Structure 1
Amino acid sequence: MADEIGIHDDGVLTAVRGAIFMAKAETTINAALLKQFTVEAATVGVGDTMWTNLGHMSNDNLPEFALEGGDPTTLSTWLKAAFRTRYAQTTGTVKFNSVQGDKGTFKTFYNAVDMTGVGVAFSLEKTPINKSLFILWSDTNTTGRAGLLLPNSDIAFSSLPALSTDSFVEFSAQANIKTSSELPHDKNGKFTSAAYFAPSDFTV
């Protein structure tokens, strides 16, 4: 079984191509909808649960996940040393870089607004937007796909545009990952924050 530990060749992928989709916060993905996700799809789903492809992402700087906190503390009792391990609270983020420098990118990442006639204006004070993100990657050698769903994320720009003469201009954003009310609790009864879809899920 693909959901048991062991050797599963189809679970080994390279992230040759990829895309990031955005939907309203706490939007999840069912089995039928998952099959419709490809890196080239402009939208997936309909109505309030529609996912929109954010377009061209950087090939030089792929989405980067990070964790902060989670440091262990060993607790002892008078009777026994190293009796229990306690972990500090963990927070997660993902940083991603768009190379699609259009007004839509600025309105999404920078909360930009249209100016009269031409251009968009934005503030340097960050104001996050609450969205659901689906980060999809595809191995063009095997046609396998996998993805990470973050149903409850606060997203804001992380820098001003990064200019380059030998690569594309990049526009960076960072999403803070929060717990979701739409995902199931884990085996310990804790709220969960992310869902992973394995290659086998796309072929069920």
Structure 2
Amino acid sequence: MADEIGIHDDGVLTAVRGTIFMAKAETIITSALLKQFTVEAATVGVGDGMWTNLGHMSNDNLPEFVLDGGDATTLSTWLKAAFRTQYAQTTGTVTFNSVQGDKGTFKTFYNAVDMTGAGVAFSLEKTPINKSLFILWSDTNTTGRAGLLLPNSDIAFSSLPALSTDSFVEFSAQANIKTSSSLPHDKNGKFTSVAYFAPSDFTV
């Protein structure tokens, strides 16, 4: 079975194409809805549960996940050495880069507002927006898809536009990953923050 450890060829993918969808915070993807997600889909779902494709992301700088903390400490008792291992709190972020330099990108990442006539204005003081993110990637060689769901994330721009003469201009944002009230608890009863959808989930 694909949910047991072993050799599963369909679980081996390259992230040839990909995109990021955004929805209202704590929006969860059902099994039925999952099958509708493709990198080309403009929207998936309806109403408060609708997911919107953020458009063209950088092909040079793919989404990058970073974990901070989580260092291990070995505790001993007077009776036994190295009796227990405990881990420091772990926080996670994902940085992603859009190459779609339209007003929608600035209104989403930079909290920009329309100016009279033309243009948008934004502050250099970051004000995060609380959203649910779904990072989807596809292997065009196998048509397999996989993705990470972050139901509760705070998103803000991480830099001003990065200019280039030989590649697309990039607009960078960072999402802080928080625990979710919509995801199930793990086997130890802890709150969870991320959901992974394997290639087999898209074909069930």
- Aligned partner of 1:89 in structure 2 is 89
1:82-114 superposed Cα distances (whole Å, 9 cap, x missing partner): 100010000000000000000000000000000
SS in 1 for 2:176: strand
SS in 2 for 1:7: coil
SS in 2 for 1:48: helix
Whole-Å separation in 2 of the counterparts to 1:65 and 1:170: 18
- Aligned partner of 2:58 in structure 1 is 58
Whole-Å separation in 1 of the counterparts to 2:183 and 2:45: 19
SS in 2 for 1:66: strand
Per-residue deviation at 1:167? Answer: 0.1
Per-residue deviation at 1:22? Answer: 0.1
1:116-164 superposed Cα distances (whole Å, 9 cap, x missing partner): 0100000000000000000000000000000000000000000000000
Per-residue deviation at 1:16? Answer: 0.2
Whole-Å separation in 1 of the counterparts to 2:184 and 2:140: 32
Name structure 1 gaps, 5 residues minimum.
Answer: none
Per-residue deviation at 1:183? Answer: 0.1
Per-residue deviation at 1:193? Answer: 0.1
Count of matched residue pairs: 204
Per-residue deviation at 1:71? Answer: 0.2
RMSD between superposed Cα atoms in Å: 0.2
SS in 2 for 1:10: helix
Per-residue deviation at 1:56? Answer: 0.1
SS in 2 for 1:136: strand
TM-score normalized with structure 1 length: 1.00
Does 1:78 find its partner at 2:78?
yes
Name structure 2 gaps, 5 residues minimum.
Answer: none
Whole-Å separation in 2 of the counterparts to 1:141 and 1:74: 45
Whole-Å separation in 2 of the counterparts to 1:175 and 1:94: 5
SS in 1 for 2:36: coil
Whole-Å separation in 1 of the counterparts to 2:134 and 2:167: 26
Per-residue deviation at 1:200? Answer: 0.1
Whole-Å separation in 2 of the counterparts to 1:7 and 1:76: 38
SS in 2 for 1:137: strand
- Aligned partner of 2:189 in structure 1 is 189
SS in 1 for 2:94: strand
Does 1:203 find its partner at 2:190?
no
Per-residue deviation at 1:15? Answer: 0.1
Whole-Å separation in 2 of the counterparts to 1:146 and 1:194: 13
Whole-Å separation in 1 of the counterparts to 2:175 and 2:190: 21
- Aligned partner of 1:3 in structure 2 is 3
Whole-Å separation in 2 of the counterparts to 1:84 and 1:6: 29
